[in-house]
Amino acid sequence: MNPSCKNFQALIIDLQQGDPLPPKDREALERHLATCPDCRAFQQDIIQMFKEMGDETLPYLPDEFFQDMREKILHGLHESAPRRIHWARHFPNPFQSGWFSWRKIFVPVLTGICGVLLGFFLATTRTPSHPTPKSIVTISKIQETVVQKSPNALALVETLEDYITIDEFLDSLDDRDIQALLGELSRDLPESLLSETENGTG
């Protein structure tokens, strides 16, 4: 097999797949096939292989199978939907209840208490409660750095996209997930990126 065979084999695959080849490539391939028994054998094998792929019969599954699947999906979506708190059930509308008569006292007093609490909170809290730079993982950076290098990272990044921070991400996993992902992380993420994330420079 000469070195150009690999290029011709790529053309053979595309041709048998049904992709039209540019006339120049097609002529070059025909000339090559006339002189190369290896590529002729390759072409026969590829034709046979695609034919057999097309002949495959998939297991028949009744409509009930898919109906059951659909119901489980809808049920699963309902289960995972964020629970909405119906405040109206817990606090009656002040304008329709006895609270209304207190409005001149109750509303300013409540606002004042909230203001004091908020001021106290802001004055004493030095770090924001939401993701600190330390824990933020820049998804696009991971994508750029890793995705081209490792197939496993694709699945990892896909999962990460659901989460803002690595902490939230880890919180959401069970033990088995954590074992699997730690394996993926140590294999896929470059050392520099891992330490950068841990050191808070990311």
Partner 1 sequence: MEDSQEIRLIDLAKNGDRDAISRLVTRYEREIFYFIYRMTRDVEDAKDLTQEVFIKVFRKLGGFKGNSSFRTWLYRIATNHTLNFLSRGPQLGMKAPLSALSDPSPSVSETMEKNERSGHVARAVHRLPRQQKAIVILRAYEGLTYREIAEVLGCSVGNCKAAYHNAVIKLREILKNEPLM
For partner 1, the binding residues (CB under 8 A) are: 9-10, 13, 17, 42, 45-46, 49-50, 52-59, 61, 65-66, 69-70, 72-74, 76-77, 80-81, 143, 147-148, 151-152, 154-156, 158-159, 161-162, 176, 180, 184
Binding partner at 39 among partner 1, Zn ion, none, C-beta below 5 to 8 Å by kind: Zn ion
Taking the complex as a whole, how short is the minimal distance between the CB of residue 18 and partner 1, in angstroms? 9
Where residue 189 falls (left for φ over 0; alpha for ψ -120 to 50; beta otherwise) is beta
Between 134 and 150, CB nearer to partner 1 = 150
Show the tokens assigned to 58: 């998939």
Nearer to Zn ion, 49 or 116 (CB): 49
Q: Three-class SS of residue 165?
A: strand
37 to 76: interface string for Zn ion, x by CB under 5 A: -xx-------------------------------------
Residue 31 interacting entry, from partner 1, Zn ion, none, C-beta within 5 to 8 Å by type: none
Among 29, 36, 153, 193, contact with Zn ion (rule: CB under 5 A):
36
CB contact set of 149 (below 8 Å; sequence gap of 6+):
188
Closer Cβ to partner 1, 132 or 138, answer by number: 138
Residues 99, 102, 103, 105, CA torsion sign: negative
In angstroms, the CA 115 to CA 62 distance is 62
Q: Are the CB atoms for 68 and 31 separated by under 8 Å?
A: no
Taking 3-state DSSP, the helix, strand and coil percentages for the chain, each rounded to the nearest 5, stand at: 75, 0, 25
